[in-house]
Structure 1
Amino acid sequence: MSTLTATRPAAPAAERNTSGLTRTIASEWQKLRSVRSTYMYLSAVVLSVAVGGFVAYLMTADYDSSTPDVQAVFGSADPGQLALPVTQFCLAALAALVMTSEYATGMIRTSLTAVPARGRMFAAKAVVAAAVAAVAGLAMSFGSYFLGAAITGDRPAPIRAWESLGDAMPSLLANSASVVAMALLGLGLGAILRATAGALVAVTAILFVLPIVAQFLPAELGMKVFASLPIQLPGQLAGIDPNAVYDPWGAGAVLAAYGVVALTAGWFLLKRRDA
């Protein structure tokens, strides 16, 4: 007597790939939220908003005691001006650690054994890094806006950065987009350099050293380089920078290039090099 055994049909390749990517993303998220450095960097973002709020409070107090002619040329008390570069750095550093920490501990071999498809593993890391950066960027941007509005109250421009949330929205979204781009840049640099120190030095140079270097370049070149730096691109992307070199589309393309170029180079080297 023969026995017929029912076999379950194999899932289509596309379905298996999607399921595999979903599980890999879940695994990468589990890794990220289980390490102390994640909370340290996110706490630094919160602290930067708080410090920015304190600076805004001091500026507002100084504004109230100034003469009308001084008030007319006062800077805006926007906590986001201080919090944005700190948030860009913290999320870029955190994303770099997503790669470099595994190389430092040797866990990269375990990860590649569990997920032999290196492209899928790298894509999952990028999704997790971008998602965390988007949430952190939005929280920083909107938190800074509401804190600044509460501090400046009904005082007029220029001390009050924005008349309403609607007016501020393009800038808040552009700031958040820049944080995501810097996180992807950090992840790419982590894959390229495979060392935490090297990745942090590279991120620091891009965010804080190049703006100084740009000031010593010939005027036209220096202006172009300065306008292309991450700290200057959000204002141009939002269309609010009076000295913009790029229109919003151009600024968006340059900002995206930071993440795309770094990720492409990181993926290429991850595929080529041994763990």
Structure 2
Amino acid sequence: MSTPPQQQNPAAPAPHWQHPEGAYTSPIPVTRTHLGHALTSEWTKIKSVRSTMWTIGVFLALVIGIGLLVSAQTTGMDYEDAPYTIPAFFGLVLGQLCLITLGVLVISSEYGTGMIRTTLTASPARWRVLAAKFIIFFALAYVVSAFAIGFVGLVTAGMYGDASNVPWLGSVFKGALYVSLLGVLALAVGAMLRHSAGAITAMLGVVLVPSILPAFLMISPSTQRVGEVMMDYAAPNALAKIFALDTEGTGGPQLVFLIIVTGAAVAGAFTLLDRRDV
């Protein structure tokens, strides 16, 4: 004998996941996403890939290693009118290329592997993903740069005591800011070009061409002024002013110029991210 089907008691309350009108409501708690989630995701990415460890490791080896070697070849008299961080300048001229490379790889590697599709599917708010990349990279680059420059300055100060009365903490923060902004600029260029080799080549041109081209421009009197300005704002000369190696200026105008250029590139990266398909 078949048993009659059980009839639902109309007086029984509806399950807690079912809306009274019949619309489904998930029993799993749903949290509204925000920038903090994107920051956590990007921090997990950047600290777990090998390229970060290699580029940061080489950067520290160049800045600290070359800085200490230069410091060992100097005497206390060399710092009478100079900050203790000058030895870090020589390693930073090469080390900045590491941050530029890392800045490009932070985003171009995702386009190269196709993982950017997964990232933007998980976080449809594209601006949030790109903003998190900029924030995480800049924070990492700035902390590492300030540590490397400051470490060289502390060791040099310990070696030569009170030989210098020139404040040197300013060069730590300004030098770290300058090379970190170069890395952010590289990240923005990588976001716009979406190609690792192309973006790195473009950034090498940004760093190297203003240092080489003025030698040819200053041959002709008509282009001499252009060559002088370009040389004055080239990355090595800008860092030389920040570290007081060049007594003509403190590097302030060069730093402001880099902030403007980087800001324009970041704005372009955000604009193109929304207008182009993945």
TM-score by length of 1: 0.79
The answer to whether the 8 A contact 1:226-1:232 is kept is yes
Query: Partner letter of residue 68 of structure 2?
Result: G
Shift in alpha-carbon separation, 1:132–1:72, aligned structure 2, 3 A: closer
Match of 1:44 in 2: 58
Match of 1:12 in 2: none
Q: 1:30 aligns with which of 33, 44, 53?
A: 44
Superposition deviation, residue 172 in structure 1: 1.4
The answer to whether the 8 A contact 1:184-1:262 is kept is no
Query: Partner letter of residue 227 of structure 2?
Result: G
Match of 1:171 in 2: 171
How far apart are the structure 1 equivalents of 2:183 and 2:269? 13
The answer to whether the 8 A contact 2:85-2:172 is kept is no
Match of 2:5 in 1: none
How far apart are the structure 1 equivalents of 2:168 and 2:191? 35
CA deviation profile, 1:116-175 (whole Å, cap 9, x unmatched): 111111001001111111111111210121233344x1484xxxxx436xx012211110
Shift in alpha-carbon separation, 1:108–1:77, aligned structure 2, 3 A: closer
Please, what is the CA RMSD of the aligned residues? 3.2
Superposition deviation, residue 56 in structure 1: 2.8
How far apart are the structure 1 equivalents of 2:251 and 2:200? 30
How far apart are the structure 1 equivalents of 2:264 and 2:275? 17
Query: Partner letter of residue 235 of structure 2?
Result: P
TM-score by length of 2: 0.78
How far apart are the structure 2 equivalents of 1:117 and 1:46? 35
How far apart are the structure 2 equivalents of 1:239 and 1:268? 38
How far apart are the structure 1 equivalents of 2:169 and 2:81? 24
Q: 2:258 aligns with which of 243, 247, 255?
A: 255
**Per the alignment, in what secondary structure is the counterpart of residue 231 of structure 1?**
helix
Superposition deviation, residue 235 in structure 1: 5.4
Query: Partner letter of residue 112 of structure 1?
Result: L
Match of 1:233 in 2: 238
Superposition deviation, residue 239 in structure 1: 8.0
How far apart are the structure 2 equivalents of 1:204 and 1:193? 14
The answer to whether the 8 A contact 2:85-2:243 is kept is no
CA deviation profile, 1:236-273 (whole Å, cap 9, x unmatched): 568884323x873x333202123212211222221112
Matched length: 250
How far apart are the structure 1 equivalents of 2:79 and 2:263? 43
Query: Partner letter of residue 56 of structure 1?
Result: S
Superposition deviation, residue 274 in structure 1: 1.5
Match of 1:213 in 2: 213
Query: Partner letter of residue 53 of structure 1?
Result: L
How far apart are the structure 2 equivalents of 1:2 and 1:79? 79
Which structure dedicates a bigger proportion of its chain to helix?
1
Structure-to-structure mapping, 1:73-152, within 5 angstroms: 78-151=86-159
Superposition deviation, residue 55 in structure 1: 2.9
Query: Partner letter of residue 46 of structure 1?
Result: L
CA deviation profile, 1:77-106 (whole Å, cap 9, x unmatched): 832121222332211211110111001111
How far apart are the structure 1 equivalents of 2:168 and 2:228? 26
The answer to whether the 8 A contact 1:85-1:207 is kept is no
Shift in alpha-carbon separation, 1:214–1:31, aligned structure 2, 3 A: same
Q: Which runs of 5+ in 2 are unaligned?
A: 1-10, 20-24, 26-30, 218-222
The answer to whether the 8 A contact 2:51-2:102 is kept is yes
How far apart are the structure 2 equivalents of 1:171 and 1:130? 18
Greater Cα shift, 221-230 or 92-101: 221-230
How far apart are the structure 2 equivalents of 1:95 and 1:83? 19
**Per the alignment, in what secondary structure is the counterpart of residue 109 of structure 2?**
helix
Greater Cα shift, 117-126 or 76-85: 76-85
**Per the alignment, in what secondary structure is the counterpart of residue 242 of structure 1?**
coil
Superposition deviation, residue 227 in structure 1: 2.0
Query: Partner letter of residue 108 of structure 2?
Result: T
Is 1:269 the counterpart of 2:240? The answer is no
